Amino acid sequence: MTIELTTADAVGELGSLLRGRVIDRSDPEYDEARSVFNGMIDKFPLAVARCADVADVVAAVNWAREHDVIVAVRGGGHSGPGLGTVDDGLVIDLSAMRGIRVDPVRRTVRVEAGCTAGDVDHATHAYGLAVPFGIVASTGVAGLALGGGTGYLTRQYGLTIDNLLEADVVLADGRIVTADESTNADLFWALRGGGGNFGVVVSFLFQAHPVDQVFAGPVFFDLADARTVARAYRDFLPDSPVELATFFGLKTVPAGEPFPAEHRGKHACALITCFSGTAEAGAAALAPLMDLLPEPLFDWRGEMPFPAWNQAFDPLFPKGLQCYWRGDFVRDLPDEAIEAHIEQAGRIPPGAVSLMHLYPIDGAVHRVGRNDTAWNTRDTTWNMVILGAHPDPDAAAGLEHWVRDYWDAVHPFSDRGGYVNFMMTDESPDRLRVTYGDNLERLARVKAVYDPDNFFRVNQNIAPTSTAA
Ligand SMILES: Cc1cc2nc3c(=O)[nH]c(=O)nc-3n(C[C@H](O)[C@H](O)[C@H](O)COP(=O)(O)OP(=O)(O)OC[C@H]3O[C@@H](n4cnc5c(N)ncnc54)[C@H](O)[C@@H]3O)c2cc1C
């Protein structure tokens, strides 16, 4: 009883310190506030601090440290393992901090940490600019950027972190620091791929690029044609122009509009394409591949504004989906690997939005050295994700089995490590060591400088050197 009263008093005190709202367990909005994108995650934090500004973030960090309360930091809440929430801790929720300022002269954009990729696309498109993010607009910029960020503009302009110029960070001791190439350069290095380990990033300054209309869309083929499509795609990719993003996918045709009724639910393979430029130039760039391929089930490529394409998949991934995923980096795709993929893809559970995608991370990504940012696996070819996703909670166990079996079958063909943003928290303890490679030691040293007590530990955690085993 005493403890409960003390906790309630402390949470009440936090509420008085913030301009934003503190939503505790007695609040009618608590269930909505504690929920994250992945419907499999069902955690009960002590409270959610919906910060209104940087001062609120400082107050929340100080309050949690002084009361010895574990903290989860939430940007867009899209983390697969639900790292934007925590049982019996404080969620520092940045979703109300959505300011964006584009500088069209320098072609930069300052982005507050609660923005989604779609928010930034919307703002930059007015100036004919874009920043490389992912393929779903509702994803949070913060978590995506701190893990690396791969998407349609990666081949041409690099990972999201390759376009990060500066970040403002609230550290575990409550100080606010700026990190860039010359100020707190070690922190700036670590933020670019090291995830949420080092503090709460409250704003990002990104380089933007001239991207306006794109020629983009999905082309779906019957799974029976997947061998031909995968082999042709593999051989086509290395010499294709970097303005052309094409990723390969194995999936089912989604059930529902606008997908053709006669194909819904069919096992299929897909090429998802996006060319920065006109329809004519895009079609010409892709023609050497398309000419080799069988008749598709449907081909929905067309010219459109970049933000329209970047949000095209959002309706397929609503908040609350049951999700389980695993990934790997992939350097080569031998015929045996393609066979293993096709076999697993034929077992996608019915009614699911499950998929395997191979996102190219060549081109501009390869021009940055493996020790220049925390992202270590620079010399690979694809970032693979196997995602099990289904609206029905009863399907969760089946999804997890499908993903694990699939990953076990194709992992022997993979490169070193995987993308931290495509990891759950139940993988081998060795996983981060392999992924960060010879950058891990430096990351642990930077962690020891900026967060020596591992205050920020609800993440793909890097232990500070002093406590590292
Ligand atoms: C439908 C879907 C599509 C996706 N597509 C892509 C894609 O195309 N490309 C890609 O690269 N990734 C993609 N992802 C993965 C995505 O990058 C991660 O899920 C990422 O964690 C999402 O960031 P968030 O801010 O929404 O997550 P959150 O759940 O809010 O946070 C995730 C992690 O980041 C940390 N964090 C968040 N904000 C901050 C902050 N301001 N300061 C410090 N730490 C912070 C959290 O502590 C947590 O550890 C996708 C995910 C989903 C669900």
Both 65 and 104 in a single domain? Answer: no
Both 33 and 162 in a single domain? Answer: no
Single-letter code of the amino acid located at 197: N
Q: How confident is the model at residue 468 (pLDDT cuts 50, 70, 90)?
A: very low
Q: Is residue 174 part of a domain?
A: yes
Both 83 and 117 in a single domain? Answer: no
- Output the six-digit token pair for 186: 């070690």
240-269 residue pLDDT tens: 999 999 999 999 999 888 999 999 999 999
Both 206 and 219 in a single domain? Answer: no
Measured by CA distance, the residue closest to atom 7 of ligand 1 is: 134
Tell me the mean pLDDT in the region 429-455.
Answer: 97
Q: Is residue 450 part of a domain?
A: no
Q: At what angle do helices 335-345 and 396-410 cross, to 10 degrees?
A: 170
Both 266 and 396 in a single domain? Answer: yes
Spatial separation of the C-alpha atoms in residues 300 and 269, rounded to whole Å: 14
**Mean pLDDT lowest among 127-131, 154-158, 242-246, 428-432:** 428-432
Single-letter code of the amino acid located at 294: P
Using the predicted structure, report yes or no on whether residue 103 has a pLDDT greater than 80: yes
Q: Residue 40 is part of a domain; what is its CATH number?
A: 3.30.43.10
Helix, strand, coil shares, percent, the chain, to 5: 35, 25, 40
- How far from each other are the two terminal CA atoms of the chain, in whole angstroms? 39
309 in ligand 1 pocket by Cβ < 6 Å?
A: no
Tell me the mean pLDDT in the region 346-358.
Answer: 91
Contact 160, 420 (CB under 8 A): no
pLDDT at 3: 45
160 in ligand 1 pocket by Cβ < 6 Å?
A: no
Q: Is residue 451 part of a domain?
A: no
Using the predicted structure, report yes or no on whether residue 106 has a pLDDT greater than 90: yes
Measured by CA distance, the residue closest to atom 48 of ligand 1 is: 83
Both 228 and 260 in a single domain? Answer: yes
Using the predicted structure, report yes or no on whether residue 5 has a pLDDT greater than 60: no
pLDDT at 428: 86
Both 151 and 52 in a single domain? Answer: no
Q: Is residue 463 part of a domain?
A: no
Contact 189, 347 (CB under 8 A): no
Tell me whether residue 375 is exposed, middle or buried, using C-beta atoms within 10 angstroms of its C-beta: 0 to 12, 13 to 18, 19 or more.
Answer: buried
**Mean pLDDT lowest among 24-28, 57-61, 257-261, 339-343:** 257-261
Q: Residue 320 is part of a domain; what is its CATH number?
A: 3.40.462.20
DSSP string, 334-374: -HHHHHHHHHHHTTPPTT---EEEEEE--GGGGGS-TTTSS
Q: What are phi and psi of 310, to 5 degrees?
A: -70, -15
Both 278 and 352 in a single domain? Answer: yes
Both 285 and 402 in a single domain? Answer: yes
139 in ligand 1 pocket by Cβ < 6 Å?
A: yes
Domain end call among 388, 405, 422: 422
Q: Is residue 254 part of a domain?
A: yes
The dihedral through the CA atoms of 455, 99, 110, 182 has a sign that is negative
Q: How many domains does the chain have?
A: 3
Q: Is residue 445 part of a domain?
A: no
pLDDT at 58: 98
Using the predicted structure, report yes or no on whether residue 359 has a pLDDT greater than 90: yes
136 in ligand 1 pocket by Cβ < 6 Å?
A: yes
- Output the six-digit token pair for 266: 């069919």
Both 41 and 129 in a single domain? Answer: no
Domain end call among 191, 210, 229: 210
| Closest by Cα among 50, 69, 57, 89 to 169 | 57
Residue 405 CA, ligand 1 centroid: distance in Å: 25
Q: How confident is the model at residue 10 (pLDDT cuts 50, 70, 90)?
A: confident
Spatial separation of the C-alpha atoms in residues 98 and 293, rounded to whole Å: 44
The radius of gyration of the chain from alpha carbons, rounded to an integer in Å, stands at 22
249 in ligand 1 pocket by Cβ < 6 Å?
A: no
Q: Is residue 239 part of a domain?
A: yes
Using the predicted structure, report yes or no on whether residue 469 has a pLDDT greater than 70: no
Single-letter code of the amino acid located at 167: A
Tell me whether residue 421 is exposed, middle or buried, using C-beta atoms within 10 angstroms of its C-beta: 0 to 12, 13 to 18, 19 or more.
Answer: buried
Residue whose entry in the numeric block shows the structure tokens 């019915």:
350
295-345 residue pLDDT tens: 999 999 999 999 999 999 999 999 999 999 999 999 999 999 999 999 999
Residue 245 CA, ligand 1 centroid: distance in Å: 21
158 in ligand 1 pocket by Cβ < 6 Å?
A: no
371-396 residue pLDDT tens: 999 999 999 999 999 999 999 999 99
Contact 114, 284 (CB under 8 A): no
116 in ligand 1 pocket by Cβ < 6 Å?
A: no
Q: Residue 116 is part of a domain; what is its CATH number?
A: 3.30.465.10
Domain end call among 185, 210, 235: 210
Tell me the mean pLDDT in the region 119-125.
Answer: 98
Using the predicted structure, report yes or no on whether residue 467 has a pLDDT greater than 60: no
Q: Which residues form the domain of 142?
A: 100-210
Q: At what angle do helices 2-17 and 54-66 cross, to 10 degrees?
A: 160
Spatial separation of the C-alpha atoms in residues 130 and 116, rounded to whole Å: 13
Tell me whether residue 165 is exposed, middle or buried, using C-beta atoms within 10 angstroms of its C-beta: 0 to 12, 13 to 18, 19 or more.
Answer: middle
Using the predicted structure, report yes or no on whether residue 1 has a pLDDT greater than 50: no
Spatial separation of the C-alpha atoms in residues 71 and 58, rounded to whole Å: 13
Measured by CA distance, the residue closest to atom 11 of ligand 1 is: 149
Q: Is residue 433 part of a domain?
A: no
89 in ligand 1 pocket by Cβ < 6 Å?
A: no
Both 229 and 348 in a single domain? Answer: yes
Both 152 and 292 in a single domain? Answer: no
Spatial separation of the C-alpha atoms in residues 82 and 319, rounded to whole Å: 12
Distances (CA, A) of 53 to 17, 154, 258, 287: 12, 31, 40, 49
Contact 147, 420 (CB under 8 A): yes
